[in-house]
Structure 1
Amino acid sequence: MSESLDEWKIFRELGDDLKQNIRLAVVFRGSAIYVTKDDEVFGFGKNEEGFLGTGDMKPHTEHTKIEQLCGQNIQGLNFSNHSFFALSASGSVFAWGRNNHGQLGLGTKENTLIPTKIEGVLATNRVVQVACSSNHTLVLTSDREVFTFGWNKNGQLGLGHNEDQTLPIKLDFPSAGGVVTAIACLFFSSVALLDSGEVFAWGKNDYGILGQNADLKEQPVPCRVPGLEGITITRIVCGQIHALAVSSNGKVYSWGWNAHGQLGNGTKENSHRPTLIAGDFGRIKDVAAHITLHLSAAVTEADEVFVWGFNGTTNLSPTKVSFTSLDELFAKTSNEALTFRPLRLE
């Protein structure tokens, strides 16, 4: 357990007893939040944008207890540049950070630096996943319903209009598409994966991120991403304005913005259609990206890690690296070390 945490510079000076008591952790811009086995939650570090949920934006060299999250059995921690979320085992969502568009789902547009439980319609729904950009948020419930809130200038909430929402609103999907199994946010857009293996997207179509023709500027309701017909997608992840999708046969498809080579297609040309990433790297079992970075990565069934996009230098095609996991890659990225997903320590 402590070996996994030691991949991250911010955790290396912690005592072994403490490291062995941590079950969940995230790292962002020189700060860390961790949950202990006895269900207490602490934060320490630079505290940019009030990430630590301590009610201020001051650096915390001492480990500070986040009282609102203690005793909640926190199972998930998600963040963008400015907004932060914690998900409890019971399906409650706590939000804090910037809220100028209502992206915290608290019914106001006032910022808060203290984790606050989202009430309203989510009080009677068990949330199982949170996805957030800097300005809008999606949540997925155990009933496979999607609720959206926040900035909606480009239809990224999928509600058929362009009005911001400060409270969670249920999003309707085409009935023939199946049920939603995963969600992801981009800066101006949103993506969902259905149990049928189909991918839906909506919002602004900058750089072809919706997988639609370039003449389409916006899509205010969920629309099937073309170009994946006959392909069963099992996982989706998104960067700032690019998407990656893994198929059931271990192939990776990418589309959207490509100024840093984050599509892995050997060029810096954007793609308006999902395109197979070619390479002699065998079957892919997982991919990674994060909305704050222009970096993409994948790990094969042989546990080989490949990276493309910007990571101090630019790789236009998947390049094998010496790291043994995606978490280690993101811990030691020369661009900005962060957790692209919570560290779950068994």
Structure 2
Amino acid sequence: MIHRLYLLILFLAPLFMPFAAGAQTRNYERFAAGENHYLVLMADGTLWSLGKNQYGQLGDGTTTDRQQPVKILSNVKSIACGSNHSLAVLNDGSLYAWGWNDCGQLGDGTTTPHEKPVKILSNVKSMDCGTTHSMAVLNDGSLWAWGSNTFGQLGDGTTTDRHSPVKILDNVQSVSCGWGHTMAVLNDGTLYAWGANNSRQLGLGFNSRELMPTPKSRPVKTGTGIRMAAYGGNHSLILTVNGTVYSCGSNEKGQLGIGDVIGNISKTPVLSNVKSIAAGGNHSMAILSDGSLYVWGDNCEGQIGNGTTLNQFVPMKVFENVSAVSCGNFYTMAILNDGTLYAWGDNNASQLGDDSNIDRFVPVRTKTGVKRVACGHTNTMYIDNEGDLNVVGKLFW
């Protein structure tokens, strides 16, 4: 889940992979980002990587940093990055891992880093990464965990790091990782959470660390299923299948959207009729079914887009006709239904893509013909309608 991104060279040019002219494979599907490295999955199932590589996290068999993408694997269907390690699931369900391994986050039984992908599990349906821990859901619904367990984020009842996968739960539909906590949705829609709870990001009582995955006292009506979750620095957003959003965790910047800075759990919905959510470091976003975009929380760099730098404690509508949104720590990008890309907030590394390094307190139009976007810390990647990958800002630091 860790998606915090970053060269001392500023980019405003597309990064094109070395395909032959007229090739039909230059179609990028999705990104994943670690602290300073990036994975890019193509429509044809090939996996490419670029960025920092001091721990072998690019998976190309070296520790050489890459400013241009290098091919790593084929037949890949899903990807995830931890801080400095990478995971990929192939079409046959095989899970491969590579990169940093100091806490056993690769799951190969050692703490030795790997510069090339190593097979860890079979029959994997989905997976995700925290900073230094990894989780996988198998086809039979079982949930497995490995890596750092300082906060109990593996959910095995201990705080002992695990260098090989250990079974945690059954009947799991999906799993999502924060930096030190984990949430899983079961087939019946029940939400489980465990791990770090320093800011009540689990929705439990203050500092109630959950070492075993028990149903949390979550602010969701009994029987209401969970569609997705999004995590900021120390807060969580939960979207139910009926379109309501709940929040829990730190609220010193108003990132819970509950209208004050005292509470840590929203017992009533923050918003309704929501189709997707996103979280930055300390700000939150929601796209409603009608395409309107609401934002709230930290606004120190103008990332709310309301023309000020004052924090926003309740959801505020800032845009219409929005199809997708992505948050960096201190900036925001939104794609409209017509493919126009707008950006606002922190721009010290030119990550907004507006040919400047001036912070923007209201949304500014930066590109057209965009179909996907992903924000990092000082870097933005977007895919245009031609299938080309473009990078603006600092690729890595």
In which range does the TM-score fall when normalised by the shorter chain? 0.7 to 0.9
SS of the equivalent of 1:329 reads strand
String of CA shifts for 1:95-114, please: whole Å, max 9, x gaps: 22322111111110112243
Counterpart residue identity of residue 35, structure 1: V
Structure 1 residue runs without a partner (length 5+): 338-346
* Equivalent of residue 117 in structure 1, options 161, 164, 167: 167
Counterpart residue identity of residue 212, structure 1: I
Distance (Å, rounded) in 2 between the aligned partners of 1:268 and 1:143: 42
String of CA shifts for 1:273-319, please: whole Å, max 9, x gaps: 111124xxx511222237xx444332222233333344624443334
Distance (Å, rounded) in 2 between the aligned partners of 1:333 and 1:61: 27
* Equivalent of residue 322 in structure 2, options 250, 275, 284: 284
Match of 2:195 in 1: 150
1:60 is aligned to 2:107? no
- 1:148 shift after superposition: 1.2
Distance (Å, rounded) in 1 between the aligned partners of 2:222 and 2:91: 43
Alignment TM-score, normalising by the size of structure 2:
0.68
Query: RMSD of the alignment, in Å?
Result: 3.2
**Percent identity among equivalent residues?**
27
- 1:147 shift after superposition: 0.8
Contact 1:152 1:163 in 2 (8 A): yes
1:233 is aligned to 2:274? yes
Aligned residues: 315
- 1:140 shift after superposition: 1.4
Distance (Å, rounded) in 1 between the aligned partners of 2:131 and 2:330: 14
Distance 1:25 1:180, change over 3 A: closer
String of CA shifts for 1:161-188, please: whole Å, max 9, x gaps: 5421101111354548944322233333
- 1:45 shift after superposition: 4.0
SS of the equivalent of 2:145 reads strand
* Equivalent of residue 128 in structure 1, options 159, 165, 173: 173
Matching of residues 1-346 of structure 1 within 5 Å: 3-4=27-28, 5=41, 8-9=49-50, 10=58, 12-14=69-71, 18-19=73-74, 21-28=75-82, 31-45=85-99, 51-56=105-110, 58-66=112-120, 69=121, 71-75=122-126, 77-118=127-168, 122-123=169-170, 126-160=171-205, 162-172=207-217, 173=219, 175=221, 178-219=224-265, 222-226=266-270, 228=271, 231-278=272-319, 283-289=321-327, 293-310=329-346, 312-313=349-350, 314-322=359-367, 324-326=371-373, 328-329=381-382, 332=391, 334=393
Distance (Å, rounded) in 2 between the aligned partners of 1:334 and 1:28: 21
SS of the equivalent of 1:168 reads coil
Match of 2:386 in 1: none
Distance (Å, rounded) in 2 between the aligned partners of 1:241 and 1:277: 17
- 1:29 shift after superposition: 5.1
String of CA shifts for 1:181-236, please: whole Å, max 9, x gaps: 222333333222233322212233221122223351533xx51245x4xx511111
SS of the equivalent of 1:260 reads coil
Distance (Å, rounded) in 2 between the aligned partners of 1:299 and 1:206: 29
Distance (Å, rounded) in 1 between the aligned partners of 2:130 and 2:392: 18
Distance (Å, rounded) in 1 between the aligned partners of 2:77 and 2:242: 33
Distance (Å, rounded) in 1 between the aligned partners of 2:156 and 2:317: 40
